[in-house]
Amino acid sequence: MTSPSSHVDLGAGLWLSVVIATYDRQELLRRLLRDLDAQTLEPSRFEVIAVDDGSKDDTRAALAGVETRYAHRIERQDNAGAAAARQRGVDLARGKIVVFLDDDMQVRPDFLAKHVARHLEIGDATDSVVLGRLRPDAKLADMPLFERYYARVMASQGDELASGARPVRGHNIYTGNVSMPRELFVRAGGFDPAFRALEDEELGVRLEKAGARFAFANEAESVHGSDWTSMKKWMDRAFRDGVYQAKLARKHPDMPESSPWRFLPVANPLKRPFMTLGLASPTAASVVAGAAIRTASVFDKVGLEPVALAGMTFVYGIQYYRGVRKEVGGYDVVRREYREFERGVSLLRRGERGDAGAFRAFREAVREDHRVLRFYGEKYDDRVESGGGVDAFAAPGGAALASDAVKKIGFQLMIAYRVMRFFRASGLELGAQFMSRTIRHAFASDVHWDADLEPGIMIVHGFGLAISYAARARHGCILFQNVTLGYGPDPVTKQAGAPLLDKSVHVGIGATLYGPIVVGEGTKIMAGCVLSQSVPPRSIVEAPVPHVGARAPVRPRG
């Protein structure tokens, strides 16, 4: 292992503390301790702390005689959940960087060295979070169907992160293989012991809010060799995931990636009705899930594994949304939201006879959105005939507005947003929340009802938007598809907030803006940019130009 670079110096003493939560897995933990004893990193540079979360077999007593070259300790606590066990491990840790591993993992001799090297590459010893690769055990074919399903899901996510197809975000974090500075962990608030599932994702969200910089380490891999054998426990875990995803979304409403609803718009259209059945009728959905799991098992036994794995996705979705329904509330809660939605629609229909002020604001905002849409259309799109477009909208309910409301998805989204804001202004907060979820399902966009978009905003294509409750945009702004205006911390001051777009700011495809930044008037943010700092008026913000090179020549066969 090379010494730390001059840019980031981990210094003398203990570099790493490996923290492991364990429960009734003394032999798997023994195997992991043995793997860690074979590390190429000097034993004096790391320690291992395993916390036995009230195991029935008393893991601490069973492994009391294990000897290792590195310092290790096994603590025991009353059963309080993995989050509490890991938190206790960090409380006891003395290393500068904490590495989290699950007790059923296996690691190669260079595992810890790869984590250290990745932190040094990032060049920031206080804010870096390194997510390692999870790989399935070589005995994957012998695993139960549900474990093979899980392994393939994790492998697919790992491929996307390794290729750069998507960046690492807080909601991607898992405790099976991740490292971070202890100082950052403490600053983010550590684990929330109230989370008995998804505690790692919840921590990841707060790490992101605390200003963490995430990186993926494909070579710092751990091998997942689970001993789960109960299908019922797996189904219960899927249900619990839904419960805690809803809790996580309630705790972090400003982070759309935490929402349990984000999966529905991208779900297979054939599976979506059954997933929503878990929300509408959990008991009936449970019967469907049971039948589906038995059918998938039959397909697996006759060698049709791809069909069986597709069935597992189906079952997981049903169980997941049954859990969401349990946490969100019963049918009465959903019914109250829908009643407020209906009241809001009724007010819109009555117009001036309803909430006159809110209705006038709604109508004028839609008109101004449309006027700006036509203005930009004539300016940038040669398919739009010059002249008459704006005039055609001069009268309320003009033909141009009606036509564009049908043809232009982005304008449809803006109208839906104005309806949501009308509900909010009329005091129908549940109706506004219902409308927000409707937008999420209809447009695959997560727009908070408190987001303040001034009249005169144009949205192009209208899908994939994520707009925080604290985001603001002024007249003349254009937002393309897959734009994020997210809540986060200022990299310097650590003050949290969301972007303010001044007048006529154009935000290109897939751009991510986060934190309490101000984007000056007339600025253009080009496609693919990630921006966390304020920029002056009339700036151009560009993403790095991708490197394009020639592929290797094709080798002749034979």
3-state secondary structure of 1: coil
CB 360 within 8 A of CB 455: no
Alpha carbon separation from 419 to 222, 463, 477, 498, 501 (Å, rounded) = 49, 17, 19, 23, 22
- In sequence order, what are the residues at sequence separation of 6 or more whose Cβ sits closer than 8 angstroms to the Cβ of residue 347? 354, 355, 358, 359, 422, 426, 428
Q: What CA–CA distance (Å, rounded) separates 374 from 392?
A: 10
Res 341: pLDDT? 62
* Strand pairing report for 458-459 and 518-519: unpaired
Instruction: State the pLDDT at residue 137.
Output: 76
- CA 143/CA 542 separation, integer angstroms: 47
**For position 353, what pLDDT does the model report?**
43
- Coil, strand or helix: which one is 551? coil
Which pLDDT score, from 0 to 100, does residue 302 have?
Answer: 83
Residue 131's DSSP bridge partners are 178, 216
| DSSP line for 64-83 | TT---SSEEEEEEE-S--HH
Nearest to 335 by CA among 416, 425, 430: 430
Tokens of 531: 């921006």
Token pair belonging to 368: 């101004």
**Partners of 488 in beta bridges:** 497
- Per-residue confidence (pLDDT) for residue 392, from 0 to 100: 34
Among 44, 36, 42, 41, smallest CA distance to 18 is for 36
Quote the Cα angle for 321-322-325, to 5°: 85
Q: Say what the pLDDT of residue 314 is.
A: 83
Which residue from 477, 476, 448, 442 is spatially nearest to 462, judged by alpha carbons?
442
Yes or no: say if 241 and 317 are a contact pair by the CB < 8 Å rule: no
Cα distance between residue 389 and residue 472, in whole Å: 28
| Cα first-last separation, the chain | 42
| E strand segments, 289-374 | none
The per-residue pLDDT for 266 is 65
The first and second tokens of residue 129, run together, are 């979070």
Q: What is the DSSP string of 28-96?
A: HHHHHHHHHHT-SS-GGGEEEEEEEES-TT-HHHHTTT---SSEEEEEEE-S--HHHHHHHHHHH--SS
DSSP 386: S
**Cβ(260)–Cβ(249) below 8 Å:** yes
CA 508 to chain centre: 21
CA distances from 22 to 39, 133, 241, 250 (A): 21, 20, 20, 29
β partners of residue 479: 459, 507
Question: 486 and 208 in contact (C-beta within 8 Å)?
Answer: no
Taking the chain (558 residues) in consecutive chunks of 10 residues, what is each chunk's mean pLDDT? 43 88 92 96 95 90 92 93 94 95 94 93 81 80 74 82 86 93 93 92 92 92 75 87 89 78 69 73 84 85 83 85 82 62 69 64 91 89 48 46 85 91 84 82 87 95 91 96 90 83 96 94 96 95 89 76
| 129 close to 115: Cβ distance less than 8 angstroms | no
